[in-house]
Every structure is written in structure tokens, then in C-alpha cells.
Structure 1
Amino acid sequence: MTLTVRDFRRSDAKAVADLRRLSVPHLIATPQSIAYEVAHAAPAQSLRLIVAELDGRIVGAVRATLLHDSSMPGQAAATPHVHPDHCGRGIGRALLTAAEEHLSAAGATRLFAWAVDAPGPHAFAESRGYRRTRPARFLRLDLAAAALPPLPSSLPPGVRLRTGADLDADPRPLYAADAEVSADEPGDVAADAMTYEDWLVRTWEHPLIDLDLTSVVTVDGEVAAFSLPATDGLGRYTSAMTGTRRAFRGRGLARLAKTASLHRARDAGCTEAFTGNDAANAPMLAINRAFGYQPFAAEWRYARELVRD
């Protein structure tokens, strides 16, 4: 059997999407989203999608990218995914080595990767010189059977519920809210340098983002909170970002936005919902558990300093 590690080709899109769904079922992907992310990557990302092919079959992949939406230079990310039937054969090691070499040459000085919270992935990461940093929790909701809280019969004065599609003429206010919320998210690297042009490509125009299911709460005409979901057309819904701008926090507006989005998602035929949160994000974890989300998976983030030649 011959293992080949090479760059992604557009014809690989379905195989890579299938691999991701199998290896990390709490994340959603489609052939269209895989191809779109590669084709529309910003030059500053130095994005490279690398696949492992075994006798003509894609059995692994890694997305190597600079975290260009952070003001801290030199930060990068790469997490190899390997088909469960082919683990333990050095495929993940070959993929990660290729990613490390690419990102080091692109100027990365620190590389972050995720590992499933299990002995094998932990041992793999530590054998490569990675150190454990912080945990994340992934939750699942049986949306078809969930007892979702009802939407309020009336909203407070000045408060309106809109969809993302309602903002199509001018999405910049939603960008401003997303940028503010993203910068405040707990994590190893702050996403505090996201430009509007980049956000349009990576979020607003991304094929997984569903603007009709996106909920936006405005207060006196100003975007105050939102819930931005992604869907795969196969009944799966995931929260891409939910949050409230600083000036409006503590009023239950994020909960309102997510309630509206989940109701519309179920009406549209979605049957299961996923969400992921940093383990330190207690407010959002509490909101999700109140909706009925149950633990589904746990991961740890690892980091390694890269030595440039």
C-alpha cells in the first residue's frame, strides 16, 4: 500500500467532506464548503489543504492556516483528521509534519491543534512536542424532539427580531457585532483583527451560513445580539457564532436570538443541532444546556512553538 501526501484538488472535495463528517461528526462540512474555503482563502492565511491518499483513496486531511484575523503575528492552526479505519499507521504524523513545514515557511512561530479528549490523541500530540492549553466542549441537541422554549408573545419596546437575510442590503452592522463578540471570546488567540472584506468572504458569503435561519436582535434599530448558524442541507445545524454586543449584555438577547433561530431551523427541516464552546465560556454553556443540548464530544487545544530555519 502506497501513502501519498499531497495538496488538495477540487475533485477531492466530496471525499474530504465525508472524512470530516466521519472523524469529527460535531463539525459540519459539504463538498461545496471545502472547495469554497480553498478557492477563497485570503493570501494572508497562507492556507494549504493537504490530503493523505492511500491507494487512490483519501484517508486523511489537514487544513494548515495562519490565524490572520488575530493581531498577534505568527499564530497558526492545523489539526489532522484521519479515517477511523486507518488510525495508527502514521497518516496523522505525515499530515502534521507537512503542515508544520508549510506554516513554518509561511512565518508561523506558534501552531495550535485540537485533539479529541482521549488517551490516544493526547499521546500523539505530546509525542510531537505539543503542550495542552485549554478544553472545549461540544454539545448536541435532538432538534426534532427538543422542547424548545416558546418565543415571547411580545418584545420589549424598541426590540425587534430580524433575520440575516433582512440585512442583505447592508450587512456591515452584523459584521461589527460579530467582530466585537469574537474578540471577547475566551481562547488562546484573540480574533481581534477581522476586516469587513474578509468577513464578507469567510462568513456572509460562505456556503454553509444560512442567512434565513440567522437571527438578529435590534434595539432601537441597532444590532444588539445575533445567532449565526451553518447548515449542511442534510438536517444538521451548528452555531457558527452567538453573542451580544457589550452594551446590551445581561438582558437575555442572545438567548432570544438563538431561540428564534432554532425554531426556524426546525421548521426548515433541521433535525439535530450542534454547538461548541470553550470550557471557560460559562454563560454560553449555560444557555445551550437550558435549551436541552447534551454533551457530545470534548477536545483539548494543544500548542507548539515552531522553529524557523
Structure 2
Amino acid sequence: MTTRAVVRQAVVDDAEAVAAVRRVVYPYKAMSAQALRHMITVQSPGERFLPLVAVRDGEVVAWGSAGLNVWTSEPGQSEISVYVHPDHRKQGIGTELAERLHQHLTEVGAVRVRTFVHPDGLEFARNLGYDGTRQMHYAGLDLTAELPAQPPTPDGIELVSFDAVDPRTAYTADTIASLDEPSDSPLDAVEYDQWLEEIWNSPSMDKSLSIGAMAGDEMVAFTVVEPATDRIWSGMTGTIPAYRGKGLAKLVKSVALRRAAAAGMTSAYTSNDDENGPMLAVNNWLGYHRVQTELGLLRTL
């Protein structure tokens, strides 16, 4: 007889087990246990973030989380994530997590919720009232293979690692570059203190591998590297509008990938919205190969 899974709020000590489940479900989404520990413990109060796990026979078999998007000027926007270990699906665990999270979002004032699903989960999401809006492509790169030749650094540009820059410089570049990032809600309300706590101070970011391109005192392009054991995830690569079309995203990412390979990382993963043609072109040039496409879905609460 199968023991029923128990859903409860996630705690810090769940991080290692959640990371293991996530690696099985999403081998193309590198995230360390340290990053999950940070996610469970550090959020803005306004997010009303709720992390849940499902536990069966003492083993974490699923994760669910939801919260308000406090980085947009559009009120009531929220996000939800649910994933279940393949060995424990079709037993109502995902449904219970989703129902708990939808109830929470309704109680905290969410009016619209976004999620991304693997194609295998599309029917499940549609049965919960979600409808499609966009595609997100995931790609991987073998860092043990030879990378294309590093582009030259343009005159007037200096490459620096994030451990040598003022965080406010990186914040300014990040928030400007993110304004026209393809999304269902604009990222136009990112407060510095929140960004500092959730992004800059997160253990997921490796500041020695993350690279910025500086024009004087201004960061004009950057790429963020987030290691997870032998893999890295590209947290964000961006260029401010005045410096686009100069190959800077290609340059900083090329440098960061070389540093990651030298540090012993064997594979790199990234994601691109279907509408982000320039970044797709950069990743194709670097040698990334598509490994999965997820569907971005919305539901009105």
C-alpha cells in the first residue's frame, strides 16, 4: 500500500532534497542547494512567498511555491512553480500543491498567475485553468568542448568580474537591461534593497565568474553565472540600449564560459524567450544546443 504524501511548508533543511528532485525533473535548469536555501529563507515581505514540499515516507518528492511579483508596476501579478518527482506522479500530489498555492495567492490579492510547464505537464496545467502565452527555450553547452574564438574587446571597454564592482553599478545595468526583457509583466519596479538581498547577496551568483563590461564607471553589459556542482546557469545576460549591436553580450558571455570551464564546470545551461532573437543568436554562436522548450502559461484568479 502506498503511503500518502504529506504537504507542508518547506524549511531550510529541505534544500538538499529539493535540489535533488529538481535535478531529476529539470536537468537543464541548474540550481544549487544553497540557492534553494536562500529562496526558502530570503524574500521581500511584499512577495508573500509560500514554499511547500510534499513528503512521502520521510522523503521529499515534490516542490511547490508561489508569490506576488513585486518587481512590476502591474498590481496583482504572481508566479507559481510545481514539480513532482517522476516516480510519484499521477497520485494527486501536484494537484494538492497547486490548490494550496492558488488559495494562498487568492488570499494575498493576486489577480493573475504565471507559470512555465514542460510539455508533459500541459494537460495538467490546462485542467487547472491555464492558457498559453509564450515559449521559453532551454539550451545546453558542453564546456569540455572547444568554444568559438573570444571576440576582441572594443576600445573604451574594460572587462571586470563582479567581485570587483560596486553592486549599485550592477543594479543599474540590470534594471535598465531588464526593462524590455520579453515578459507578461514589465520588470519596472525593482527596488535596490530587494535586488541587493535577493540577487547580489544570493549564494547562487558566483561573482568571480560573472562578468561586466565597463565604459568608464558605467556597466554597459554583463552576464551572471550561477554554479550548481558541475554545471552553471546563466542567471541573466544583458546590454543597456545605447551599447547594443556592438557584440558585448557575446563578449562577456564568452569570457564567463571560459572562466567557468577553467574552474572545472563541465556544462552550461541558459534559457531564452521565443521573442528574444538577439540573445538566441548569441547563444547559437556560442554553440548552445536546444534541450527543451517550456510553455509560459497564465491563469486569471
The TM-score normalised by the length of structure 2 is 0.96
C-alpha deviation, 1:126, in angstroms: 0.8
Q: What does residue 90 of structure 2 align with?
A: 88
Structure 1 distance, partners of 2:100, 2:110, is 14
In structure 2, C-alpha distance between the alignment counterparts of 1:151 and 1:133, rounded to whole Å = 35
Q: Give per-residue Cα distances to partners, 1:169-195, cap 9 Å, x unaligned.
A: x21011011011112101112211111
Query: Counterpart in 2 of 1:17?
Result: 19
CA distance in 1, matches of 2:13, 2:41: 13
Partner of 1:162: 160
In structure 2, distance between residues paired with 1:146 and 1:191: 36
Residue 299 of structure 1 deviates from its aligned partner by 0.3
Partner of 1:240: 235
- Residue aligning to 2:123: 123
Aligned-residue offset at 1:29: 2.3
1:217 to 213, 217, 223: 213
Aligned residue pairs, count:
299
Given residue 128 of structure 1, which amino acid in structure 2 is its aligned partner?
L
- Provide the C-alpha distance between the structure 2 equivalents of 1:251 and 1:150, rounded to a whole number of angstroms: 14
Matched residue, 1:191: 187
Q: Distance in 2 between matches of 1:218 and 1:125?
A: 43
Question: Which residue matches 1:149?
Answer: 149
Partner of 1:38: 40
One-letter amino acid of the counterpart of residue 45, structure 2: P
SS in structure 2 of the partner of residue 260 of structure 1: helix
1:185 maps to a residue whose letter is: E
| Residues 40 and 201 in structure 1, CA contact (< 8 A), matched pair in contact too | yes
What is the match of residue 280 of structure 1? 275
Residue 261 (structure 1) aligns with:
256
- Given residue 253 of structure 1, which amino acid in structure 2 is its aligned partner? L
In 1, Cα distance between the equivalents of 2:255 and 2:170?
Answer: 17
Q: How much has 1:151 moved relative to structure 2?
A: 4.6
1:303 corresponds to: 298
RMSD: 1.2
Q: Which moved more, 1:68-77 or 1:140-149?
A: 140-149
| Unpaired stretches in structure 1, ≥5 consecutive residues | none
The letter of the residue matching 2:159 is: L
TM-score (norm 1): 0.94
Aligned sequence identity (%)? 36
Deviation per residue, 1:76-102 (Å, 9 max, x gap): 111210001111111111111111011
Contact 1:226 1:244 (C-alpha < 8 Å) held by counterparts = yes
Q: Distance in 2 between matches of 1:28 and 1:2?
A: 29
Query: 3-state SS of the aligned residue for 1:18?
Result: helix
Cα deviations by residue, 1:227-286 (Å, 9 ceiling, x for unpaired): 111112x11111101010011111111111111111111111111000001011010001
- Deviation, structure 1 residue 26: 1.5
